Amino acid sequence: MNDAPPRSPFGLLVWSLRPYKAVLIVIAVLSALMIAGNVALPLLIGRAIDRITLGLTDEALLTAGAIALLGILIALVVGSRGILAGRLSIRVEHSLRSRLYSHLHEVEPAVLDRRSTGEWVSIATLDLIPISTFVGLYLAQLASSALTLVAAAVVMFLIDPLLALLALAPVPLTILSLIRYRATARPILSSVRQRMGELTGLVDENIGGAAVIRASARESEEMRRFGEAGSRVLDEALAANRRLALFNPSVQVLPNVGSALVVVIGGLMAIQGHLSVVSFTVFYTYLVMLVPSIQSVGTIIGQAQSALACAERVADTLASPRERGREVSNVPEGPAAVDVDDVTVKAPDGRTIIEGADVHAPAGGTIAIVGATGSGKSVLMRLLNRLTHADSGNVGIAALPVEEIELHSLRRAVSPAGADEFLFAGTIAENIEFGQPEATREEVVAAARCAQAHAFIEALPEGYATRLGDRGAGLSGGQRQRVALARALLARAGVLVLDNATGSLDALTEAAAVKALEERRREQPFTRLIVGYRPALLRAADEVLVIEDGRIVERGTHAELEARSARYRELVGSE
């Protein structure tokens, strides 16, 4: 599925089946055989009854054997089709999930902020089940039921047009009921999925923040929030169920009205000699086949509304924009110069976050940035690896515009470590190796030593093999920062971005980390951009920039700014 998926829900359902044309052909052939067998069965039954009536016992027994054999063949065909349809359902779900997962790694970073983690999880898991069930199982059943309905109706018209019209009289009413249900159900079903995503997000948030919730004694408040979210899901689900409950009777009852008319009128015609008993029996056998087919078509189309509601969310996700860029160059190895020229960044609501920023770090140099909370420091750092895009101005790495750098090369060249850097569930070694999985154990240990993490890791019962919970559960804030810093160092990037990466460390540990970084930089040069406030970091910078409300308002070395700027002294706490 390398082609772009359609934006329409129904188009997505069709698109999801395109890689499985051969399987669909086999299912279609099996369905045709099943329909042919089902259509032939009443004719054989009629022939058997006719031969019994005429006293032709041998021919009646032969026909009965044919009926039994045909029944076995139909069962085998239905079983084979069921196996193939089930496998198709599983494969479609797997393919869509893989496509979704791949796409979410490629979308613009801002897209991921539109929904909570729980909602994305819901789309990539729960929403795929109705889609795969419909296209893999219900779609084949729908086609078979519809074709069986048509074939049975044709034979019934050939036997007796009047009775056929009576049998099919309720069908238009069933279609009207279906149209009405379709118009009202899908918005409600979409809302159910939305509410389920919100509930999943709340559960994810509560599990991830369990320690904070307990520390703040907020258990009862969170239970109230969960109860309210659950009630919203319940209300929407009950509303959807009411629509389905009103629709189902029309699908189930109306076809039986036609059956009743056929039994009464057809019975009278048989009694009066206008229709033979054999013909009436065959006709009624087709009617018995027709009614479940009408009911099945109505029920499956009703189920399709849930699949279309889910497909709408999945199609919307797959249509979200990928990260843009011409991507024609690669960053050369080694320390890279960083150039931010007259850059402005705006928020989605139009607010200016960064205005006219200029940052220039020579290859192998160190630039530090300080500013009050919310002044735009982190946004400025995110421009370097295209996690944020400039609305105007230019951002370059190694004299190459970041938009023209191949994305993988850019992000290998810019290695970030932040104040609350994400750690994955797994061992400490696996987290450090994350950006450089081919690294040797000696390289992992060297990076951990530089980040001042080796000592506490070795003190753990299982050392580097110690398993962490989600988001690094099991380590303190300072320990998580040091593991994240070791991961950034092991990546051997040309540009190291430290966004308050040592903020949770004590002054002595931070000073040791700064010293180790200087020694490592002499052995393996790299450019540093630092967001921090402690003198140990700021003294190591070639230039310190002061940012205020998105604008760089002062520049100079740590000593120069400390001597002349009251604002700077206040920010770094030296007054």
Tens-place pLDDT, residues 210-226: 767 776 677 788 788 87
The pLDDT value recorded for residue 246 is 66
DSSP-assigned beta bridge partners for residue 546: 370, 554
d(CA 171, CA 173): 5
Q: CB count, 10 Å around CB of 207?
A: 10
pLDDT (mean) for 45-67? 74
The pLDDT value recorded for residue 565 is 87
pLDDT averaged over the chain? 81
Q: CB count, 10 Å around CB of 2?
A: 5
The pLDDT value recorded for residue 512 is 83
Residues 310 and 382 placed together within one structural domain of the fold: no
pLDDT (mean) for 177-199? 72
The pLDDT value recorded for residue 575 is 44
d(CA 344, CA 341): 9
The CATH number of the domain where 460 resides is what? 3.40.50.300
Write the DSSP string, 50-88.
HHHHTT-HHHHHHHHHHHHHHHHHHHHHHHHHHHHHHHH
Q: Which 3-state string (H, E, C) describes 328-391? A: CECCCCCCCCEEEEEEEEECCCCCEEEEEEEEEECCCCEEEEEECCCCCHHHHHHCCCCCCCCC
Among 243-247, 406-410, 477-481, 510-514, which stretch is predicted with the lowest mean pLDDT?
A: 243-247
> Among candidates 390, 392, 386, which has minimal Cα distance to 407?
386
* 330 lies in some domain: no
* 222 lies in some domain: no
d(CA 297, CA 127): 23
Residues 147 and 61 placed together within one structural domain of the fold: yes
Residue in the block written with tokens 């089930």:
86
For the chain, state the CA radius of gyration.
35
The confidence band for 249, taking pLDDT boundaries of 50, 70 and 90, is low
Residues 455 and 518 placed together within one structural domain of the fold: yes
Residues 459 and 349 placed together within one structural domain of the fold: yes
pLDDT (mean) for 183-190? 70
Among 29-33, 110-114, 357-361, 478-482, which stretch is predicted with the lowest mean pLDDT?
A: 110-114
Report the share of the chain in percent with pLDDT over 70.
91
pLDDT higher than 80, residue 127? yes
- What type of residue sits at position 285? T
The confidence band for 438, taking pLDDT boundaries of 50, 70 and 90, is confident
The confidence band for 60, taking pLDDT boundaries of 50, 70 and 90, is confident
* 49 lies in some domain: yes
Q: How far is CA 541 from the centre of its chain?
A: 43
* 503 lies in some domain: yes
3-class DSSP state of 161:
helix
* 324 lies in some domain: no
pLDDT higher than 50, residue 231? yes
Query: What distances in angstroms separate CA 502 from CA 213, 482, 514, 547, one per listed residue?
Result: 26, 8, 9, 20
Give the structural domain span for 106.
9-198+239-318
d(CA 48, CA 393): 87
The pLDDT value recorded for residue 133 is 85
The pLDDT value recorded for residue 419 is 67
Residues 314 and 342 placed together within one structural domain of the fold: no
Residues 80 and 123 placed together within one structural domain of the fold: yes
For the CA atoms of 443, 449, 452, 457, the dihedral, rounded to the nearest 10 degrees, stands at: 80
Residues 270 and 176 placed together within one structural domain of the fold: yes
Report the share of the chain in percent with pLDDT over 90.
3
Q: What are the tens digits of pLDDT across the range 272-292?
A: 777 777 777 777 777 777 777
Residues 118 and 32 placed together within one structural domain of the fold: yes
Greater confidence (51 vs 223) lies with 223
Length reported for the chain? 575
Q: What are phi and psi of 561, to 5 degrees?
A: -70, -40
The confidence band for 41, taking pLDDT boundaries of 50, 70 and 90, is confident
* 223 lies in some domain: no
320, two tokens: 């979200």
The pLDDT value recorded for residue 59 is 74
Element (H, E) at 499: strand 495-499
Alpha helices (H) along 437-565: 441-450, 454-459, 477-490, 507-523, 535-538, 558-564
The CATH number of the domain where 97 resides is what? 1.20.1560.10
* 215 lies in some domain: no
Residues 59 and 116 placed together within one structural domain of the fold: yes
Quote the number of domains for the chain: 2
d(CA 489, CA 497): 10
Q: Is the pTM of this model over 0.85?
A: no
Residues 305 and 373 placed together within one structural domain of the fold: no
The confidence band for 255, taking pLDDT boundaries of 50, 70 and 90, is low
* 252 lies in some domain: yes
Greater confidence (20 vs 503) lies with 20
Residues 389 and 269 placed together within one structural domain of the fold: no
Q: What are the tens digits of pLDDT across the range 323-355?
A: 766 667 788 888 889 999 999 998 877 888 899
Domain boundary among 259, 283, 318: 318
Residues 356 and 297 placed together within one structural domain of the fold: no
